[in-house]
Each structure stands twice: as C-alpha cells, then as structure tokens.
C-alpha cells in the first residue's frame, strides 16, 4: 500500500502529483494495476479521507461522513420500528470489568489500548479504551433488569471504538479507531433473540445491497470464526474481486446466556422464579464505506451509488466566449432549484477560476452519479445535457421532463451498479469438489463454495495447509442459501461425508 503511510502519507505531494501538472487532477494509479495505491488515491482525491500522523487513524471528511449519515438515517428509522432505544455509554472501562468475561477478551487482549497517565502522573490503575461495549454495558443490564416486565431491553449506541491492530492499516477497511453502531438486546426467550438476529441481518443486507449497491451473502460463521463470547454468529459477507478477498460486512450475534451468567443478568418470570436473559449484539461500521469504494470505483476515481451520494446531480455551466453567461447561470440555478424541490440532492459548481473540463474531472473523481451541463445550445433548445458517471452515457433532455428523467437515470444507475457488481462477484464464485480444485481456485483469487464436513480440526488443517505470504484461506460463512448437497458428497479437505456447503477464501 501507500509508501508514506506511517508518517502521515499522502498529504505532502508525492511523485504522482506531478503527472498532470496543469490541473493537478486525475488518478495516477489504475484499479487493475495497483489496487492498494489506487484505493489510497481514490479515498484521498475524492476528499473522503485525509491521512493523519498516527498510523491507522484517518480524518473522515464530509464526503465520507455524509454517506455514513445517510445510512445512519435509514438504520435509525428501522431501530425506531424495532423499539430499540438510543444510549451512550462511556468510552473508558476498568481492567477489572474488561476482564470479567474471559472467553470474550481472550485473543483480543493485544488490541486493547490503555490510558496510563494524566498529565505527568501515572493513573492509579490503567483504564482501557472500549474495543466493544459488552463489559461496559452488561453490569447495568444486571441492575436494570429485575422482572419479565423489564424485558425486552433494547439498546443501541453510535460511537467510536479503538482496536490497536498491527497488520496493514487501510482507510475504512482496517483502522485503529472506527465508527459503528452497536446494538445490545436482552430477551426472556431464545425464540425472540433468534428472530431479532435475522431481522437485523436483513437490515445489514439492505444497507449493503440497496444503499451501497454491494452484493453480500448472508450466512452463519463456523464455531471457529464466531464471536467466542457468544452462542452463534451470523454475518453478511462481501467479496473484493481485485484482491480475491472476502470481507465481513457486518455481524449479528446471538450471545445466548453466556454473558447473563457472567454478569448475573436475571429476571423474575411470571411464575415468580428467576431466569437468565437471552442476549444479542450486532454492529456495522465505517468499513462499509470502504467496501463500497472498492466495489464501484474505477480509473477516474470514486463511483457513488445514487442512494448514498451526498450530491446526486452536479450542474455545471458551460459558457462559451460570447454566450449569455447570465442566462446560462440562471438556467443552472433554476435546474438545481427544481431538482432540490423534488427531493433530489443537486448542487451547482459556480466557481469561475476553474474550466468546465476541470470541473468534469473533479466531480467524476468524487463519484457524483449524474452531471448536468448547460451551455448556449442547450439554452436555445430548452434542454440540458446529462452525463452518467457509471458508464459515461450522454443524453439531451428537454427541460420540461427534467425531474422524471433525473429520477429514472438515478434509479437506472443504482440498479446498474448493483447488477454489475453482482455479475463480477458471481464470476468469482467457484464451486469445487476436491482439494486440487480448491487450491487452483484459491490461486485464481476465487470465492470458493465447497462441500465440507463441518469439523473444526479440518478447518484448522485447511488454514495450516494454505499458510503463505498472502495469508491463509478460511471459512467466510456457511450461506443460508444452500445449494442441494447430493447424498454421498465428500468433504473437499478431509474426504469425510460432507454436511454443508461453505464459502472459503482469503479475507480481510
């Protein structure tokens, strides 16, 4: 990835800035040639990210935050329907509380960041910064839940968390501090908990597929890959064709009664006896924005699905030398006004110190789905020219049908981005039966659907046998959507009878 990352990276004008010196615009790297550098360049040039002087920490600029906020608005409305309430719990947690649930913290401990000083003096005891909030919240669940009438308890908080990762930091995808929502719920029965796990997973699918236009597979994690503190883990899994890696998009866990036991979260049931609650937790993060960038971006920069684009339509005046610039400006303003009145996010680029051509590249780099150009000829013909970001198609549209045409085009772009991404993802899925086929598919950067025996030893064995520079292969998930498994099908890795189809591959 980026050369200067550790020291603050991209800001200081590296070699590629010289390539297009008249405009300082354009992309130096190509998606298919150097994916890592291409990604860094896209997120910086589109003004989503600014690199920061702490490795693995990034500034999220409005172009990134506004996308996150659009998704948040959808998710908050869904939480309301579910009667999930907003909370905010503290950022800090004592060592004692953090360590309370041993299975949970074990394995994660190296990533926990600690505050040890205030000013020059040592704190009496170090305080951890939350990597997740189970141990922060659950002592209070124990206090707040007394009777069956206190259930279900449904909390959500939008916050930052810190995980001090050491492997290859990447904006959005793997950062040491990130933003998420974490939902934590408690129920009287397992049935209610089970139902919510899948309901939330479906919301995550919608965020990825219907907002970000990124195809995902819903499924269940294996015992080895699940959240160790819980009962079972479900997830939505995306795939990045360029790197041949799977990426977990969001998780929805059923925690069972494990935390209830550790934190003594019990309620008096209708018959007057005490029972432990059933709990869930679920989260999606700013990583989702990065997956979207990787999926749709191209050699001109970012490509935004209309549903999450902060600006869906950018209007650019194209004044010719002796044209009536006032009339053109007026037409541009009324276009933006008409679109805004119809609930379309439209904006006008009136800057006079940049040429129309420069503005085209600028807004292409920022991924705005639709560009409207208005020049003297358009004015005379009572039309505007529309240019699609996803495929470059140009069409002249009469001003009277502006709003319906824009709506239709934006819908078409959203659909086209999803369908194209799904075709590319599907072309990467390889169904295999044997170990040899598995290794060939893995080396061809595939997302592998394989019959296996569902044994942890075999899963560990696959990890060991595929260890190497690019990282080992592992299970991504066991998809809910299971193809038929003919009787007598054998596990690709062990040769034992296969029990299910699972996705395997390298991953982020």
φ/ψ of 317, rounded to 5, equals -70, 140
Per CB under 6 A, 283 contacts ligand 87F: yes
* CB of residue 409 to ligand 87F, shortest distance in Å: 38
Give the Cα separation of 352 and 358 in Å (integer): 11
Residues 114-133 that bind ligand 87F (CB under 6 A): 131-132
User: Would you count residue 111 as binding ligand 87F (CB under 6 A)?
Assistant: yes
> Residue 284's beta-bridge partner residues?
181, 250
Q: Which of 127, 256, 135 is nearest to 192 (CA)?
A: 256
Distance CA 244, CA 43 (A): 20
List 52, 108, 232, 354, residue binding ligand 87F (CB under 6 A): 108
Dihedral sign (CA 115, 116, 119, 123): positive
Q: Are 438 and 493 in contact (CB under 8 A)?
A: yes
Surface-to-core class of residue 194, CB atoms within 10 Å of its CB (0-12 exposed, 13-18 middle, 19+ buried): middle
Looking at the Cβ atoms of 197 and 441, the one nearer to ligand 87F is 197
Map residues 192-211 to x or -, x wherever contact with ligand 87F holds by CB under 6 A.
Answer: --------------------
Residues 6+ apart with CB under 8 A from 54: 176
Name the segment binding ligand 87F (CB under 6 A); options: 145-153, 194-202, 278-286, 296-304. 278-286
Cβ-based neighbours of 379, under 8 Å, separated by 6 or more: 323, 324, 327, 328, 331
Q: Does 84 bind ligand 87F (CB under 6 A)?
A: no
Q: Is residue 181 a contact point for ligand 87F (CB under 6 A)?
A: no
The residue from 39, 227, 263, 501 that contacts ligand 87F (CB under 6 A) is: 227
Q: Smallest gap, in angstroms, from Cβ of residue 129 to ligand 87F? A: 10
At residue 105, the 3 state secondary structure works out as helix
Binder to ligand 87F among 42, 60, 112, 193 (CB under 6 A)?
Answer: 112
Among positions 362-401, residues that touch ligand 87F (CB under 6 A) are: none
Strand partners, 477: 503
Q: Which is closer to ligand 87F, CB of 85 or CB of 394?
A: 85
DSSP 360-417: HHHHHHTT-SEEEEE-HHHHHTTEEEEEETTT--EEEEEGGGHHHHHHHHHHHHHHHH
- Nearer residue to ligand 87F within complex by CB, 284 or 438: 284
163 binds ligand 87F (CB under 6 A): yes
366 Cβ neighbours under 8 A, 6+ residues apart: 46, 47, 63, 301, 302, 304, 311
41, 182, 225, 430: which one binds ligand 87F (CB under 6 A): 182
Question: Considering the complex, what minimum distance in angstroms separates the CB of residue 36 from ligand 87F?
Answer: 24
Q: Report DSSP state, residue 99.
A: T
CB closer to ligand 87F out of 131 and 256: 131
Q: Does 281 bind ligand 87F (CB under 6 A)?
A: yes
Nearer CB in complex with ligand 87F: 101/459: 101
Residue 164 or 435 with smaller CB distance to ligand 87F? 164
- Is residue 104 a contact residue for ligand 87F (CB under 6 A)? yes
Q: Which stretch binds ligand 87F (CB under 6 A): 101-109, 286-294, 314-322, 393-401?
A: 101-109
State how far the Cα of 254 lies from the Cα of 370, in Å rounded to an integer. 42
Q: How far apart are the first and last CA of the chain?
A: 14
Tokens of 461: 């064995």
Residue 48: closest CA among 310, 356, 248, 299: 310
**Closest CB 132 distance from ligand 87F, rounded Å:** 4
Distance CA 102, CA 383 (A): 67
Cβ of residue 234: shortest distance to ligand 87F, in angstroms? 11
Which one of residues 282, 360, 503, 508 is an interface residue with ligand 87F (CB under 6 A)?
282
Asked if 251 touches ligand 87F (CB under 6 A), the answer is yes
- If the CB atoms of residues 111 and 461 are measured against ligand 87F, the closer one turns out to be 111
The site for ligand 87F, by CB under 6 A, has a size of 16
The stretch among 107-115, 299-307, 345-353, 468-476 that binds ligand 87F (CB under 6 A) is: 107-115
Q: Which residues here bind ligand 87F, judged by CB under 6 A?
A: 104-105, 108, 111-112, 131-132, 134, 163, 182, 227, 251, 253, 281-283
């Amino acid at each position: 990835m980026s050369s200067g990352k550790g020291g603050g990276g991209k800001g200081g004008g590296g070699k590629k800035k010289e390539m297009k010196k008249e405009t300082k615009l354009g992309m130096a790297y190509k998606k298919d040639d150097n994916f890592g550098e291409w990604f860094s360049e896209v997120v910086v040039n589109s003004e989503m990210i600014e690199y920061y002087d702490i490795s693995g920490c990034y500034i999220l600029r409005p172009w990134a935050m506004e996308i996150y906020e659009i998704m948040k608005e959808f998710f908050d409305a869904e939480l309301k329907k579910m009667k999930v309430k907003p909370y905010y719990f503290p950022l800090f947690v004592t060592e004692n509380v953090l360590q309370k649930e041993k299975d949970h913290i074990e394995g994660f401990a190296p990533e926990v960041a600690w505050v040890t000083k205030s000013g020059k003096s040592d704190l009496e005891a170090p305080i951890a910064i939350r990597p997740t909030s189970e141990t922060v919240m659950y002592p209070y669940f124990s206090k707040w839940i007394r009777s069956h009438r206190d259930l279900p308890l449904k909390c959500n908080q939008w916050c930052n968390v810190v995980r001090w990762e050491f492997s290859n930091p990447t904006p959005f995808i793997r950062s040491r501090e990130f933003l998420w929502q974490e939902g934590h719920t408690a129920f009287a029965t397992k049935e209610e908990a089970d139902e919510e796990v899948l309901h939330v997973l479906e919301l995550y699918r919608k965020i990825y597929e219907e907002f970000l236009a990124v195809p995902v597979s819903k499924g269940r994690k294996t015992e080895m890959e699940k959240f160790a503190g819980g009962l079972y883990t479900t997830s939505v899994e995306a795939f990045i064709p360029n790197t041949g890696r799977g990426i977990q998009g969001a998780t929805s866990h059923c925690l069972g009664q494990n935390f209830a036991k550790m934190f003594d979260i019990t309620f008096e049931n209708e018959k007057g006896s005490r029972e432990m609650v059933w709990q869930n937790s679920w989260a999606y993060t700013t990583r989702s924005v990065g997956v979207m960038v990787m999926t749709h971006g191209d050699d001109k920069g970012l490509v935004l699905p209309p549903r999450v684009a902060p600006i869906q339509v950018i209007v650019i005046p194209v004044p010719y030398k002796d044209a009536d610039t006032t009339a053109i400006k007026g037409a541009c303003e009324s276009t933006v006004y008409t679109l805004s009145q119809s609930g379309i996010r439209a904006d006008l680029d009136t800057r006079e110190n940049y040429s129309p051509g420069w503005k085209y590249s600028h807004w292409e780099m920022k991924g705005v789905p639709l560009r409207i150009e208005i020049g003297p000829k358009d004015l005379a013909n009572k039309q505007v020219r529309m240019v699609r970001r996803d495929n470059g198609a140009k069409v002249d549209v009469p001003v009277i049908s502006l709003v319906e045409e824009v709506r239709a085009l934006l819908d078409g772009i959203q659909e086209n981005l999803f369908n194209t991404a799904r075709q590319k993802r599907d072309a990467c899925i390889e169904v295999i039966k044997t170990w040899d086929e598995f290794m060939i598919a893995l080396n061809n950067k595939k997302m592998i659907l394989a019959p296996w025996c569902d044994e942890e030893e075999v899963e560990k064995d696959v990890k060991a046998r595929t260890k190497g520079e690019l990282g080992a292969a592992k299970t991504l998930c066991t998809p809910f959507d299971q193809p038929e498994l003919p009787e007598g099908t054998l596990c690709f890795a062990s040769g034992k009878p296969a029990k299910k189809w699972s996705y395997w591959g390298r991953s982020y």
